[in-house]
Chain A
């Protein structure tokens, strides 16, 4: 796939995120979970962001959306469609051009019927119809719309979350681990939908643990370690023994996968995936 003709949609450069915290009384300190994060997503491209838990993948997503907690300090540049993505622009774009699929089902309002939650942000007149259509698309019954989140299974809730992201005019989809706990058919449906976003010209940031699923659809893969980008490679480089990968860390990560002989020679060392 030739990228040269594609326009960059989102460029994250040297992003760092810190949190100021109060230690014992009034002593203030800043912790810096993300330093020097770089990711670029082109229109119509799926970029998988992989990395261990706590490597800062979700924070990257929250930073782009502008939903970090108020004590977060961001620096670096985030450029969307060639223009700096300011807080004000984020407010205007999110939910419209930028769509978010969160990682936990706790992101649904526990006291609101799921159908109504999917309808938020849709045109009032057609909201109900659209919601029913989305439910059908994700293999949810029409009657499920009247249920509260606690009445649905984890996998169903994931599909509801996914349904909230499908909006007309979405240019960038940020999916924060949308796949765990989902049965295989629904998984392939979700991957297909992500692929569809990209076909329609939107950029997709797929944050995940599940490298094998990600590789099925991703064009490129960004590997994150301890808040920094280690490597960005074409998805096709993740093959065989990984000799086309650039860094040692990524090669190990690749070889540690069950499909690749479960290479455990590094187990217990610095690789905790």
Chain B
């Protein structure tokens, strides 16, 4: 266990180093000029002013120098300052991460629970009408791009029915202190729904496959031979054998969840980590972008790590293997 953990820790550190180098290189290879992106092509800025900008941000130095000065600061816990927002990167990430976490957490729970139940229902009624409906729903949604799904929900529920606002996390033009919880919830529903609906399809299909395997296993044949009803088979053997893989899959799903939230947040102009990352990328805000990438890859890594640990700790057959 200890050795395994150490190896994993080394792996995540090298992963982060690699990722930061890759991001730096890509940004430098891109034709985008951060100064230009920042002043927005404002012609009134004189060349001297632009030079001053470059010096102030340190973009006049070589990429390698920039990387090392950034990495050195990071080692002291300093993620740098966002060029765009003029505030420390870590503060921005913190506030946005909370917003995103609520969104992803809701979608994660909803898609996990509903998806598992649907997948179970489909497998237990394999070939029947309920199975076909669930399968049809899942196949359709699995092949639906998330931003398109978001747009459809937007058109139907926000524009057409006017049940929900078209975007943002809070009503515009309202003081932060005056925003009620209900308002936040109101803005929260559509993005969370978008993210959940697609997750449900994934989880349902995986659970269905797993459960069909279980139903074909010899121990279920034997359970049948012993006169167990479908419900008993589900209760005694189905849940027991499918819940662990389902949960660890759900943790390993963090990566996709983050990718999905980026698109969903973009569609709904929801100020979470994902939409901030998009803005940072488009405006060439290197410190902010690298910061978000590092934090989010840590997040995905944590998910996979938990999935792994769970598998080993909870499954009695893995006792002593860790």
A interface list, Cβ under 8 A from B: 62, 65-67, 69, 91, 93-96, 100, 102, 104, 106-112, 120-121, 148, 150, 164
Contact partner, B317, options A93, A95, A106, A110, Cβ 8 Å: A110
**Which residues of B206-263 are within 8 A (CB) of A?**
216-219, 221-228, 232, 236-237, 240-241
- CB-CB nearest in chain B for A95: B227
**Chain B residues with Cβ under 8 A from A109's Cβ?**
219, 223, 236-237, 240-241
Q: Is B43 an interface residue (CB 8 A)?
A: no
Q: Is B40 an interface residue (CB 8 A)?
A: no
- Give the interface size bracket for B toward A: 20 to 34
**Chain B residues with Cβ under 8 A from A69's Cβ?**
216
> Knowing A120-B228, A121-B228 touch, does A111 contact B222 (C-beta < 8 A)?
no
**Chain B residues with Cβ under 8 A from A150's Cβ?**
316-317
Contact B316 A94 (CB under 8 A): no
- CB-CB nearest in chain B for A94: B227
Contact A107 B219 (CB under 8 A): yes
Minimum CB–CB distance from A169 to chain B (whole Å) comes to 12
- CB-CB nearest in chain A for B222: A107
Q: Which of A62, A106, A111 has the most CB of B within 10 A?
A: A111
Contact A67 B224 (CB under 8 A): yes
**Chain B residues with Cβ under 8 A from A91's Cβ?**
227
Complexed CA–CA distance, A104 and B222 (Å): 10
A-B contact pairs, 7 of them (CB 8 A): A66-B224, A94-B225, A94-B226, A109-B223, A109-B236, A111-B317, A112-B237
Minimum CB–CB distance from B102 to chain A (whole Å) comes to 34
> Knowing A111-B316, A112-B237, A112-B240 touch, does A106 contact B225 (C-beta < 8 A)?
no
Contact partner, A120, options B217, B226, B240, B315, Cβ 8 Å: B226
**Chain B residues with Cβ under 8 A from A62's Cβ?**
221
Contact A164 B237 (CB under 8 A): no
Please report whether the interface of chain B is mostly helix, strand, loop or mixed according to DSSP. helix
**Chain B residues with Cβ under 8 A from A96's Cβ?**
227
**Chain B residues with Cβ under 8 A from A110's Cβ?**
219, 241, 317
**Chain B residues with Cβ under 8 A from A106's Cβ?**
217-219
**Chain B residues with Cβ under 8 A from A111's Cβ?**
240-241, 315-317
Minimum CB–CB distance from B232 to chain A (whole Å) comes to 8
Q: Which of B224, B240, B315 has the most CB of A within 10 A?
A: B224
Complexed CA–CA distance, A93 and B227 (Å): 7
Complexed CA–CA distance, A157 and B202 (Å): 38
A-B pairs with the 4 shortest C-beta distances? A95-B227, A107-B222, A95-B226, A100-B225
Contact partner, A95, options B218, B225, B240, B241, Cβ 8 Å: B225
> Knowing A109-B236, A111-B240 touch, does A94 contact B224 (C-beta < 8 A)?
yes
Minimum CB–CB distance from A200 to chain B (whole Å) comes to 19
- CB-CB nearest in chain B for A99: B226
Minimum CB–CB distance from A23 to chain B (whole Å) comes to 21
Complexed CA–CA distance, A108 and B240 (Å): 13
Q: Which of B216, B217, B225, B228 has the most CB of A within 10 A?
A: B225
- CB-CB nearest in chain B for A113: B316
Contact partner, A107, options B216, B218, B232, Cβ 8 Å: B218
Complexed CA–CA distance, A93 and B223 (Å): 13
Contact A100 B222 (CB under 8 A): yes
- CB-CB nearest in chain B for A147: B316
Contact A104 B228 (CB under 8 A): no
Complexed CA–CA distance, A9 and B42 (Å): 97
**Chain B residues with Cβ under 8 A from A100's Cβ?**
222, 225-226
**Chain A residues with Cβ under 8 A from B232's Cβ?**
120
Minimum CB–CB distance from B296 to chain A (whole Å) comes to 34
Complexed CA–CA distance, A106 and B222 (Å): 9
Contact B236 A120 (CB under 8 A): yes
- CB-CB nearest in chain B for A91: B227
Complexed CA–CA distance, A95 and B219 (Å): 14
**Chain B residues with Cβ under 8 A from A107's Cβ?**
218-219, 221-222
- CB-CB nearest in chain B for A64: B225
Contact A95 B228 (CB under 8 A): yes
**Chain A residues with Cβ under 8 A from B222's Cβ?**
100, 102, 107-108
**Chain A residues with Cβ under 8 A from B219's Cβ?**
106-110
Complexed CA–CA distance, A252 and B217 (Å): 37
**Chain A residues with Cβ under 8 A from B226's Cβ?**
94-95, 100, 120-121, 164
Contact partner, A148, options B216, B217, B223, B316, Cβ 8 Å: B316
Complexed CA–CA distance, A251 and B298 (Å): 72
**Chain A residues with Cβ under 8 A from B223's Cβ?**
109, 120
> Knowing A111-B241, A112-B240 touch, does A67 contact B218 (C-beta < 8 A)?
no
- CB-CB nearest in chain A for B243: A111
Inter-chain pairs besides A67-B224, A94-B225, A96-B227, 14 sampled, C-beta below 8 Å: A65-B225, A67-B225, A100-B222, A104-B218, A107-B221, A108-B222, A109-B223, A110-B241, A111-B315, A111-B316, A112-B237, A120-B226, A121-B228, A150-B316
**When each residue 297-322 of chain B gets 1 if its CB lies under 8 Å from chain A and 0 otherwise, what string results?**
00000000000000000011100000
Complexed CA–CA distance, A115 and B259 (Å): 46
Complexed CA–CA distance, A182 and B222 (Å): 20
